[in-house]
Structure 1
Amino acid sequence: MARDFKRTDRVGDQIQRDLATLIQREIKDPRIGMVTINHVKVAKDLGYADVYITVLPLGEQDEAEATKQSLEVLKQAAGFLRAELAKGISLRVMPALRFHYDESIHRGRHLTSLIEKARRLEDNEG
């Protein structure tokens, strides 16, 4: 009987939980918005972890600018975050962190709007 979860999945889940806490508590840069970690994909050899995030802008910022600044801050803090993660996760080598904007939320909103538009057109024609 095969196991449902691979080791990389378990490591990714743990990194996601710990990283969310670290970003909230340890990163004090005012440029960073409210960051949500949507997914962490760890390489099979545990050499790196791709961290997919979305950002809720603070104040008057637009979403694109907030995302750009938050990614910049996180990329600069990647070494610090990796070292802090290593303190709480028992791995021989902690994966290097690579941060990316998660476009799935944006694509989901776009698809939802297209579906709603098609429904409205269908209702108007019917």
Structure 2
Amino acid sequence: MSVRANRVGEQMKKELGEIIGRKIKDPRIGFVTVTDVQVTGDLQQATVYISVLGDEKQRENTLIGLAKAKGFIRSEIGQRIRLRKTPEIIFEFDESVDYGNRIESLLHQIHKEEKDNQQDDKV
């Protein structure tokens, strides 16, 4: 990925956080965190990775709400970032957050089991 695409991605990430958090009033959209934005080298497409607080239904509703607001979001981005053509936006869940949480809970579980085994050895 080019340096320019990286810079555009970082700028979009910052702006999207503000747009989604403050400008969109769709009740379907839950508490969203924009974790990353990957822009193609030709700046035609931007994949926006999000994490959503809540259960699976809330996550799905948020994705539906964001898809409906895509045109508005894109025009807001166009006004805030000076580009000849605003990239097409694709929203995806950032699975790395869930993956990290899963690893953390497994490590916690292993640590607890080791602690329990050490106490059993002392008895």
Root mean square deviation, CA, Å: 1.4
Query: % of aligned pairs identical?
Result: 39
- Where 1:52 maps in the other structure, the secondary structure is strand
Counterpart residue number, 1:28: 25
Match of 2:38 among 19, 38, 41: 41
What is the one-letter code of the residue matched to 1:55? V
In structure 2, what is the Cα distance between the partners aligned to 1:22 and 1:120? Answer: 42
Taking structure 1 as the reference length, the TM-score comes to 0.86
What is the one-letter code of the residue matched to 1:98? I
Counterpart residue number, 1:60: none
In structure 1, what is the Cα distance between the partners aligned to 2:22 and 2:99? Answer: 30
- Where 1:51 maps in the other structure, the secondary structure is strand
What is the one-letter code of the residue matched to 1:31? R
What's the CA shift for 1:25? 2.3
User: Aligned residue pairs: how many?
Assistant: 117
What is the one-letter code of the residue matched to 1:54? S
What's the CA shift for 1:24? 1.9
In structure 2, what is the Cα distance between the partners aligned to 1:12 and 1:38? Answer: 11
Gaps of 5+ in 1: 58-62
What is the one-letter code of the residue matched to 1:125? N
- Rg larger for: 2
Match of 2:107 among 98, 101, 115: 115
Higher fraction of helix: 2
What's the CA shift for 1:76? 1.5
After superposition, give the CA deviation of every residue in 1:42-96 in whole Å (9 maximum; x if it has no partner): 1111111000111124xxxxx2111100011111111221111111111111110
In structure 2, what is the Cα distance between the partners aligned to 1:89 and 1:7? Answer: 13
Gaps of 5+ in 2: 119-123
Taking structure 2 as the reference length, the TM-score comes to 0.88
